[in-house]
């Protein structure tokens, strides 16, 4: 029907000179109705639609295009598309259009908010000789799809790294067990030897070795517990209580380094659903990073707040801060700015926060300090993030 209607309309348009005033008025009304119908269709589309000429001048833009590009109704018409997508212009060359009539590009917009847009450009098939060539441009906001894809890739990479790290840590347990057994045998033989200065010295060395092996075994055990991908055992939890317990455990270490800790976390904070042991790991990693970033005399401030949906804990330190180029890679596996660091601490924190339906944010400025924000969903408003 649509094809017949347009064919009939073309025949009528070809006989404009022969139409009387009544038929001409009917034709104008019909054209107006069809134009209104198409405008309603284009106005309802979620995708942005532009019509441009070969110079890139925008002749038409629907409301969705205005929203995506961030310009008002009277600001987009007459603008040049090359200002938004400079690399698109070569695609409009006659030779390029003949080889690939449909062009696809992805680009990022920063105004009115950061987003990724996919652009399709299709030339009009004009049958009128000499008519200027035009192109339809379709804009689709793919920010959410792209973020979902990137998160899935990141999660897969993180899982692979954690499994590899877990395997390495597990293998370390075998030689540690062997060392423990042999040190025990040495200790028994030393006890059977006659007391002497050399025997006492060797016994002391064996004791030191045993203590170090025990310490390494504890590190490996805690590391495995931290990175092993286990679902959280959720229960109603008061964040202030868990944080206070972690800070008490670290009190001596902060005091030895001359670091002051100020925590403003009232017991009246709304409860959250969380795994208490995993939360301890999160708080320990965050405060440990802050401790290692500060010199004696530094200060760590912990504040809290809540809104209708979330509970927030903010950890602000007066440390050296983080370079902007490092800030973007802090959650990548094995990326670290600390000598001797393994680069897995923040990645583990991020994984645990995601498993709890929460988020971690990080702001830093060199020479000023760093603020880490942990966001937890309230128990009564908890929505689990999709993976």
Residue 387 resides in a domain: no
Are residues 17 and 132 both part of a single domain?
yes
Are residues 48 and 73 both part of a single domain?
yes
Residue 297 resides in a domain: yes
Are residues 192 and 247 both part of a single domain?
no
Q: Which residues contact 305 (CB under 8 A, 6 or more apart)?
A: 311, 312, 314
Are residues 301 and 283 both part of a single domain?
yes
Tell me how many domains the chain contains: 3
**pTM of this prediction?**
0.45
Helix, strand counts (H, E) of the chain: 10, 12
**Ranges in the chain, pLDDT < 70:** 1-17, 19, 72-75, 84-103, 109-112, 125-131, 147-170, 218-219, 221-229, 324-345, 381-387
What is the Cα–Cα distance from 326 to 81, expressed in whole angstroms? 35
Contact 64, 48 (CB under 8 A): yes
Which domain covers residue 203, as residue numbers? Answer: 147-227
pLDDT, residue 142, reads 81
pLDDT, residue 237, reads 92
> pLDDT tens digit string along 167-194?
666 677 778 777 888 888 888 888 877 7
Contact 121, 88 (CB under 8 A): yes
Are residues 43 and 72 both part of a single domain?
yes
> pLDDT tens digit string along 36-69?
777 778 777 778 888 888 778 888 888 888 887 7
Are residues 52 and 155 both part of a single domain?
no
Q: In the chain, helix, strand, coil percent, each to 5?
A: 50, 20, 30
Are residues 74 and 116 both part of a single domain?
yes
Are residues 118 and 183 both part of a single domain?
no
Contact 121, 136 (CB under 8 A): yes
Are residues 130 and 86 both part of a single domain?
yes
CATH code of the domain in which 196 resides: 1.10.287
pLDDT, residue 2, reads 44
**CA-wise closest residue to 77 among 60, 65, 64, 93:** 60
Are residues 56 and 96 both part of a single domain?
yes
Q: Which helix (H) or strand (E) holds 52?
A: strand 48-53
Q: Which helix (H) or strand (E) holds 354?
A: helix 345-355
Of 204, 227, 250, which closes a domain? 227
pLDDT, residue 161, reads 63
Are residues 28 and 81 both part of a single domain?
yes
Residue 160 resides in a domain: yes
Residue 314 resides in a domain: yes
Are residues 332 and 262 both part of a single domain?
yes
CB-count exposure of residue 367 (10 Å: 0-12, 13-18, 19+): exposed
CATH code of the domain in which 269 resides: 3.30.565.10
pLDDT, residue 228, reads 62
CB-count exposure of residue 346 (10 Å: 0-12, 13-18, 19+): buried
What is the Cα–Cα distance from 170 to 378, expressed in whole angstroms? 36
The three-state secondary structure class of 240 is: helix
């Amino acid at each position: 029907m649509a094809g017949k209607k347009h064919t009939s309309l073309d025949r009528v348009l070809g006989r404009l000179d022969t139409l009387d005033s009544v038929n001409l008025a009917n034709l104008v009304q019909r054209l107006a109705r069809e134009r209104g119908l198409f405008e309603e269709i284009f106005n309802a589309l979620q995708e942005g639609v532009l019509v441009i000429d070969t110079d890139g001048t925008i002749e038409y833009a629907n409301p969705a295009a205005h929203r995506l590009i961030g310009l008002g109704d009277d600001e987009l018409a007459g603008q040049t598309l090359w200002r938004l997508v400079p690399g698109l212009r070569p695609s409009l060359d006659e030779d390029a259009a003949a080889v690939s009539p449909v062009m696809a590009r992805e680009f990022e917009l920063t105004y009115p908010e950061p987003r990724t847009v996919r652009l399709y450009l299709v030339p009009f098939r004009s049958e009128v000789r000499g008519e200027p060539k035009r192109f339809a441009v379709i804009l689709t906001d793919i920010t959410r799809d792209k973020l979902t894809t990137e998160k899935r890739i990141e999660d897969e990479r993180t899982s692979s790294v954690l499994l590899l790290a877990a395997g390495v840590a597990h293998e370390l347990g075998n030689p540690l067990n062997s060392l423990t057994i042999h040190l025990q045998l040495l200790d028994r033989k030393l006890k059977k030897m006659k007391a002497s200065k050399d025997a006492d010295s060797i016994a002391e060395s064996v004791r030191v070795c045993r203590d170090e092996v025990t310490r390494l075994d504890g590190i490996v055990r805690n590391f495995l517990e931290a990175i092993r991908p286990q679902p959280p055992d959720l229960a109603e939890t008061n964040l202030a209580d868990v944080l206070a317990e972690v800070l008490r455990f670290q009190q001596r270490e902060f005091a030895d380094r001359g670091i002051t800790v100020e925590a403003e976390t009232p017991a009246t904070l709304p409860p959250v659903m969380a795994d208490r042991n995993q939360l301890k790991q999160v708080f320990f990693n965050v405060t440990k990073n802050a401790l290692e970033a500060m010199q004696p005399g530094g200060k760590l401030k912990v504040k809290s707040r809540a809104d209708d949906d979330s509970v927030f804990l903010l950890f602000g330190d007066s440390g050296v801060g983080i370079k902007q180029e490092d800030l973007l890679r802090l959650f990548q596996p094995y990326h670290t700015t600390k000598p001797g660091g393994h680069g897995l601490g923040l990645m583990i924190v991020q994984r645990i926060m995601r498993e709890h339906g929460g988020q971690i944010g990080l702001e830093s400025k060199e020479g000023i300090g760093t603020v880490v924000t942990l966001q937890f969903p309230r128990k009564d408003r908890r929505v689990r993030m999709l993976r």
